[in-house]
Amino acid sequence: MLKSIRLALALSVITLTGFAVTPAMSASLKVVASFSVIGDFAKNVGGERVEITTIVGPDGDAHVYEPKPADAAAVAKADLILVNGLHFEGFLRRLIETSAPKGTIVELTKGVEPIAFKTEFAEAKESGYAGDEGHKHDEGHEHEDHDHGAIDPHAFQSIPNARIYVKNIAEAFCAADTDGCVDYQTNAAAYIEKLDALDAEMREAIALIPQNKRTVITSHDAFGYFEHEYGLAFLAPQGLATSSEPSAADVAKLVKQIRQDKASAIFMENITNPALIQQIARETGIKVGGTLYSDALSPPDGPAATYIDMMHNNIRQIKGAILGS
């Protein structure tokens, strides 16, 4: 009798425990990430507690992406919308306007020291970048008043900046879900440790490249922060805007500069049309060194499915093309 009561109690405890666990199994936060790199950061910080919808997916181009009705629906019901800011996402203002989100929009470049574009190909850059929304402010950021055409938004290409993105994500998750804060902080700290190791690896790899072999060509100006942080020089015919077609004169000017600067390697990017790079490779006689992942991760089975893999891939490609190893 006693035994069966105990068993019944034990069973009810198990049942109750089982029941109590169920809500924690479903995500506490609905998060929208504007593009794949941010989606990856958010997953590393949020773990099981967050449900992430990424708008611009693998190999996608956030500069020219056209939002779909499903994107607006996800933004409308999200608790948090994580964006790069600095006008990286060409679609953002329109998407926010059409979806009227209840959640908080978090600009992850907050705290990053913005850098300006180089000026060699400024005409092409500015004409392309002024584009449809370049001169408008995003909702909720009226206080920022800078010259958008001159600021490089690809801050995530520097690992020290990636640390800032991750800290901003942890802070936003903590504010929106205090119960999960310890988890978020723990996850962020563990991920930042991996980023620190990655940063050290990058510096070691680049130290192996002789100073006179550190100029490389990519399609668009995605690597300004990489250049600034790690000391490689990138030349790009398309400037910022992946949608802009450089004029024949721009291309000729670049080819001339490539010869002058003795560029060591030329790369395609996962998000841009390879035709222009192939043309420049033909005209300069520099062999295409492979594909760099600039503004998006690869699909899960590709070489850059996570931010860490993306940085590994890029440095491997650069080192391989320049040093042949």
User: Least distance in Å: CB of 120 to Zn ion?
Assistant: 17
Spatial contact of 78 and 31, defined as CB atoms under 8 Å apart: yes
Q: Please name every residue paired with 81 in a beta bridge, in sequence order, or none if there are none.
A: 32, 105
Cα–Cα distance measured from residue 267 to residue 291, given in angstroms and rounded to the nearest whole number = 6
CB-wise, 174 or 296, nearer to Zn ion? 296
Q: Is 37 in the site for Zn ion (CB under 5 A)?
A: no
Q: Is 222 in the site for Zn ion (CB under 5 A)?
A: yes
User: Least distance in Å: CB of 294 to Zn ion?
Assistant: 6
User: Least distance in Å: CB of 219 to Zn ion?
Assistant: 9
Task: Walk across the sheet containing 104-107 and list its strands.
Answer: 50-56, 29-35, 80-83, 104-107
Which region, judged by CB under 5 A, interacts with Zn ion, from 90-98, 133-141, 217-225, 305-313?
217-225
User: Least distance in Å: CB of 63 to Zn ion?
Assistant: 5
CB-wise, 28 or 218, nearer to Zn ion? 218
Residue number of the CB closest to Zn ion reads: 295
Q: Is 89 in the site for Zn ion (CB under 5 A)?
A: no
CB-wise, 173 or 225, nearer to Zn ion? 225
User: Least distance in Å: CB of 16 to Zn ion?
Assistant: 52
- Tokens (6 digits) for 163: 């640390």
User: Least distance in Å: CB of 222 to Zn ion?
Assistant: 4
Backbone φ and ψ of 292, nearest 5°:
-100, 145
How many residues belong to the site for Zn ion (CB under 5 A)? 2
User: Least distance in Å: CB of 313 to Zn ion?
Assistant: 17
Q: Is 295 in the site for Zn ion (CB under 5 A)?
A: yes
Spatial contact of 63 and 87, defined as CB atoms under 8 Å apart: no
At a CB cut-off of 8 Å and minimum separation 6, what does 198 contact? 159, 308, 311, 312
- Tokens (6 digits) for 267: 């790369």
Q: Report CA torsion sign: 178, 183, 188, 193.
A: positive
DSSP 286: P
Which region, judged by CB under 5 A, interacts with Zn ion, from 19-27, 195-203, 274-282, 287-295?
287-295
CB-wise, 40 or 295, nearer to Zn ion? 295
Q: What is the 3-state secondary structure (H, E, C) of 169-225?
A: HHHHHHHHCHHHHHHHHHHHHHHHHHHHHHHHHHHHHHHCCCHHHCEEECCCCCCHH
CB-wise, 61 or 183, nearer to Zn ion? 61
Which region, judged by CB under 5 A, interacts with Zn ion, from 37-45, 133-141, 196-204, 221-229?
221-229
Which region, judged by CB under 5 A, interacts with Zn ion, from 27-35, 73-81, 220-228, 272-280?
220-228
Residues that bind Zn ion (CB under 5 A): 222, 295
